[in-house]
Structure formats: C-alpha cells, structure tokens
Structure 1
Amino acid sequence: MTNARTTFSSPLDLQSVRADFPILSRELANGFPLVYLDSANSSQKPRHVVQALEDHYLKHNANVARAMHQLGAEATAAYEGGRDKVAAFIGAPSRDEIVFTKNASEALNLAAHTLGASLKPGDVVVISEMEHHSNIVPWQLACERTGAELKWFGVTEEGRLDLSNIDELITENTKIVSLTWVSNALGTINPITDIAAKAHAVGATVVVDASQAVPQFPVDVSTLGADLLAFTGHKVVGPTGIGVLWGRYELLAELPPFLGGGEMIEVVRMTGSTYAAPPARFEAGTPPIAQAVGLGAAVDYLSGIGMDKIAAHEHAIVEYALEGLKTVPGLTILGPTEAADHGGAISFELDGVHPHDVATVLDTRGIAVRAGHHCARPVHERFGVQSSTRASFYLYTTPEEVEALVDGLGFVRSFFKVA
C-alpha cells in the first residue's frame, strides 16, 4: 500500500481488543485471514457478551414481570439491569426513558406511528436525502395516513446536509424533524444539536436515528437536543434482536401505545383498556430478555474501554483509510473525503467494476465489505449511482486491515483488467 501517512496512532491496545473477539482470528478460504470491514452493517461480538448470553440461558432463563418464582425474579432483575446500563451509557436522565424494541427500524416505526397519530393535513415532517430507509418509509406511511406533507434536506456535492433552505423547511407548520446523526452510507456526521434548536424554536419534535452514532462516540441525550433517539444492539457489539428507543419521559407519557398485548396494559375489560406508564406501554408481549442482558454486557464492555478512546481510534482509522483509498486509481469516494466530522463508514465506486464484483473478489481474499445501496437508495441517486462498495471500521480495525483493503482493490483492478 502506498500511503502518504507513515505513522498510525491509536489510544487503543488493538492486540488486546482483538483478543476479545475470537472471530477475528479466523482463517477463511484460500488461506486468507478474515479482514472484517462491515461493522456498519453489524459489529462483531466480544467473548464477554457471548458469555453473558450463555450464562443467562443456562442459569437464569425465565419470563419477566409475570413469573412469581426465583428464576422469574432473577430474569426480571437481569432484564431491568440491562435497561439501567443502557440508560447510563447514553446519559438518559431516567431508566424509564429506555424502551426496548427488536431493532432500530422498529424503534423508528414506533416513533412515526405514535407521533404520527397527531398529524393532520397542513402539517410537515422533515427528513433528509441521506436517511436509511428505516427513517424514510415510516414517515412516508405516516404522511399517507394523515395527509401531512413530507419534505427533506438535500445533500451537497461534498456529502453534507444542505442547510441552505433550512428556514423554508423548518417553519411553524413543521411538526416533526427526523434525521440520521451519522450517515450509514456516506459516514457524514450531522449537526444534530444546531438543527434541533431550530426545530424546537417552532415547536417541532426531533427524532434522531443514532444507529451509527452510539457505537462510535460518547452520547449524552440530555444535551443532544433530541426528543426521541433510536439505535440498535447489534451495531454496539451486542446481540441481534434488540433495539432501543430513548425518549423524554414527558413525551413518552403523552404518546399512545404502538402494539397491544401483555404487560403494556393497566386494566383490560371487554369495553376498553387502559395502559401502563412508559416504558412498559411500548413493550407488548414477551420482550427480548436475553438480548437485553447481552446489550447490557455490550455497553459495559464499551464503557470499560472508554467511548472517548473508541472515538479517537475511529477517527484515526478513518483518516488512514481515506488517505489509502485516495491512492487507488479510478476510485471515487461518495461523501466527505476528509476525516473531520466523518463516521466509520466509507462508500466508494471503482471505475469499470460493479460494486458487487468488487465485494466478491475482495471476499476471495478474506476481505468482508458491503455492496449495494446500503438501505440508502435516495442518497445514491443523489450522486447518480445505482450502488457502491462500503468499507466500515470499528474499535478492532487495524491499519494492516486498511492496507489489505487498498491492496485488495489493486488486485480487483488487475483481475478485471481495468486500465
């Protein structure tokens, strides 16, 4: 790899971190070591999280909030303990502001369905062109149901939110502003606090998709400016099957239920029902119990390392990767090309080679990346491309893996005889 950067500095002991993730020591087909560069899709899991899941299932497994025996009490304590840990991890003022869902998509659908219940014709919902589909489709559906209008921020050539018409988008008619904090496709970090202040000045509610933010840097919801915030467990070294919706308690208490069923009720009669206070109101049926235990273990693990150190490592590895990718002939980066305000995902095109072919050939060398529109088709259309290849990095990514990617892209070019 030819890289102008001659040194790489990280505050993390990468050898020690990687030892916590057994999968990273795998050797794949053709004798190549695994180079996992798909963490924006799903992060790998440390042994600590897997052991927490195993311990729960083997020693404490029972349903929660309803089983009146010792195992039920232990499972309930473990489940609610996960809620306590998540609340502390994101700076929530109260544990009762943490709602467990099955993923971030469900959390955003919950937000759109419940907030959308009060929309009417003439109201405006504002999103952006760089959103994940999970923060587009639910709002489209809400506007279709209610007659409200959906508007959106565009994206500049540099891959930043185009805020030039913010005064036209956020007006007295704007009721909801829902934005990604960190783009899963472009890696752009958006100025959520500034936009939230503008939205609150006109009385709008602010929803934040923090799926790519919470894994990467310290989060304090008490100062962010969001009213509701969603993220998913499997991107923060936690298990699949669990997501989080944080909300200001006063707002959650005003919202109607999303799903009906056990434990979200207060009293049920054939003539009607009343509902539990948050967060139980939004957790119908048997919840993701073991997953909450695993998520608690995951945030404990990240906190033990230090989110400030993880953020510094992400910045350093992204800077190293951007410099390396710029040396590949015919490669175009989508979005910001500098590390400032850049998250851990970089999408790119390689002239003359389809993104799926890029990913397939890299896979033969043990390099795992993602190809497609990354559930962010509108932003790809904005840049006039059907799809892209995405490499994404996390706390366990090494500079040697970045070098393997750059060298691998050189092999791709030679494989397809790209001039």
Structure 2
Amino acid sequence: MKRVITIILCLMLLLSLNGCTSAKDSSNVKNKEITILIDSNSYHDLKFNAPVFNAYKQKFEREKGIKVNFDVIDVKNKEYENKLRSKLYLKDGPTLIYVSPWSFCGSLIKTGIALKVDDKLKNYAKIYDSIKDENKCFIPISMYHYPIALNRKVFKKLGIEEPGLDWTREDYFRIREKWLTEEPQNFTPYLFRELMWNIMEELEVYDSKNNKVNIDKSKVIGYIKKLKDELHSGKYILKDSYTFENYYRMFYEIESKEYKEAKEMTLYNDTDSIRRQFYYRNALNSLGNSVEMDIGEHIVLPQVVDEFKKLVLWGFIVNRNGKNIDLGLEFLNWLLSDEVQLEIFKKKRDYPVNKDIEDEIEKIEKDNNINEKSIALRKYLLTKIKNGDYKSLKNYSDKYLVIRSELTNNIIKFVFADKDYTDEEITEEMKKLEDKLNMWLNE
C-alpha cells in the first residue's frame, strides 16, 4: 500500500512539474515579441510599398519565432502627439519607433527616449558612416536620392548642351531661363516653388545655434521684389481673372479647382517641359533606373534644386523604455544583414545602407547588363554621400521646417497680393512674424 501511495505521489509531482514547465514555455512564447510604434500614414506606406521589409519581417518571425507587432496611432487624431509621447514613457512600451522618410527623430532623441545603439547592434558598423546621426540612435534601413530628369527633346530643340553629373543649381536655372525665354509656360506652383527652395539659406533667418529668428527686413524686401519681377517677366502665362484667393487655393488647397487644374496642367505638359516634375525613381538604385536611361528620352542627373531630396532615409530608433529591447536589436540586425540589404537593392526601389555589399551590387549590375550611365550615376551619388556632401532631412530640425514654411507662406502672400505692399508695411509684417516665431521657439 505504501508503495502504491509513493508511486501516486511521484506521478502527481511529475504532472505538477510538467504543468509548471508548460506554463513557463507558454509565457516565453508570448514574451518573444516586439512592437513597432508607427503613425497611420506610415503604416499604410510600409505595408503596401515596402515589399522587402514585409517579406523579411515574416521570414524573421518564422525563423526566429519572434512576433513583430505594430502599434498604429491615427495621425488624424487631435491627441496624436500626446498619445505618441505617453506610449514612450510606459514601462515595457513599444520596442521600436518607425521613422518615415519625411519625418524627424531629433526631438525624440533629445528627450532621452532613444537608445544609443552603436555598441549594442553588431551590424551598425556596416552602415555608411556619413549617414549615422551624431547621437548614434537612428538606425537607417535604406536610402533614396530623387534625381532631376531633364527632357532631351527640349534640349535638342533649344540647342543646349547636356550637363554632366557634376552640374550645379546655377546650371539648372540658366537652362530653365533659356527655356522660359524661348517659350513662356503656363504658371504653376511647381515652377514657382523651385525659385524659393533655398529661401532659408538666401535670407539667413534662423540662427539654430542660438535658437533664434533674425529677419533682415531689407533683404526680404529685395527678395520679394525679385520674385514679383520674375512673376510678371512675361515668362509665365498668367490668368487675368486670378486674384490672391485663386493663387492661395492653387498653392495650398488640394481639393480646390485651382489646385487640381495646376496639377493636371503640369502632368499634361510633363513630356514637353524642360524637366519631369513627377519623376520618382531612386537614382541610387541602378536596377530601377536602367530602362529609363536606355530609352534615352530623359537626361537623369543628380538633384540640385531640392536639398531634401538629395538624401532620404527611413529607419528606426529603439525605445529606451521598450519591451524586449534585445529582440528589437536582433530584428534591426537582421534588416541590416548582407542578405536583406542585397534584397533591398534587387527590388529596384530602395538602396541599401550597408557599405559591405558594394562588390555584390557591382556583380548584380554586371550580370544584368545595367546601363553604364545608370551605374555611373549611382557611383557618383554614393561618393557624394560618403563624403558627407548631402544632408538628410534627419540632419534638420522640425523647427527649421516650421520656420521655412511660415516664411514661405508670408513671402507668397506679398508676391501674389492684389495690392502692392509698401516697404514699411512689409517691414512691419516681418517684425510681427519674427516676434511670433521667437515666442514659439522659447515656449
């Protein structure tokens, strides 16, 4: 009898131990997950426009047994910023924060929420040094360079020699001037904004070191006069009936008739324009550019007008308060691996940030008989990036863009106004803007 009782007790003990082990294993499986915090717009883009990311996310989940979840915040929600920040200060909050191509991460890094990863992420050393942020917190996954595609047909018509890869912003505007002088074009915001893209540098309004706005009123007055002279120079076909309200809607209200007409006009004239306004190829990816350059209709050259399109990056930062940070780092290490980075290149859209696979990329180009001009363009741009000649949007602050937007909006108001502003009135308005921006900077 004692023997039977002993056997029963042993069996109960074994069952109990097995039960504990199962519960523990179940808990481990549940805990093997990471969460990516992302806004709703970026989630849509990443889900539908990043095939390599999605494919390798699924492969990572299968091979590593680590679930990758998304925590999506609706950008249309008025409490978006508050919701974002509240999640980042939670214990065991989201592991990673997605940083889209056109967004900033500097302000988050300054709060101390981002983890410094250079000594924690093995493949971080493979990233091109020039695109690493000074805090070693942002982890780029791929990069873009949006080039300028000039119309070869127009060049032949005007008898203009084609520029080389080392052309400049001044070269572009000389060509543009000849084109407009020969044949005036319908006015569109796209043509006009080209003139204003360097407004912050030309007017030198923001002292980032001292976090202060200083507006040289006389310089602004001269700038406005120059733009008004350009507008009424005869190079643009203007609508006589248009008032300031029409121009305002053309520039800013995407649902307005004026905005839609201007966009349709630009699309319609794209093949006869000096350049294609809607050319979205990545000049770094020679596989994706080769066919366009083979056709020969366009002269594809480095971007020299729009600074923000010279180097566009997307990636992640690691949340210091995140859950399963080690697993998040493992996922990022996977995305930066030679295998995944080569797949990014093969998809003909993005360009890898891993500098160790350049030889493999050259072999792929050779095996696919890629256009030599496309290869030369990639190598030229890569040299510029390695030398630090191109700044990413991530190098700018969100303050820079807000000030730029406010200044541009005010300048447009003066240029397209139904009445002529006096120098005194412009000075007074600029002083108000200066005070407003400095008050905002010091909040």
* TM-score normalized with structure 2 length: 0.28
The answer to which structure has the higher strand fraction is: 1
The answer to which structure has the higher helix fraction is: 2
Larger Rg: 1 or 2? 2
Query: Taking CA–CA contacts closer than 8 Å with sequence separation of 6 or more, which of the two structures ends up with the larger relative contact order?
Result: 2
* TM-score normalized with structure 1 length: 0.29
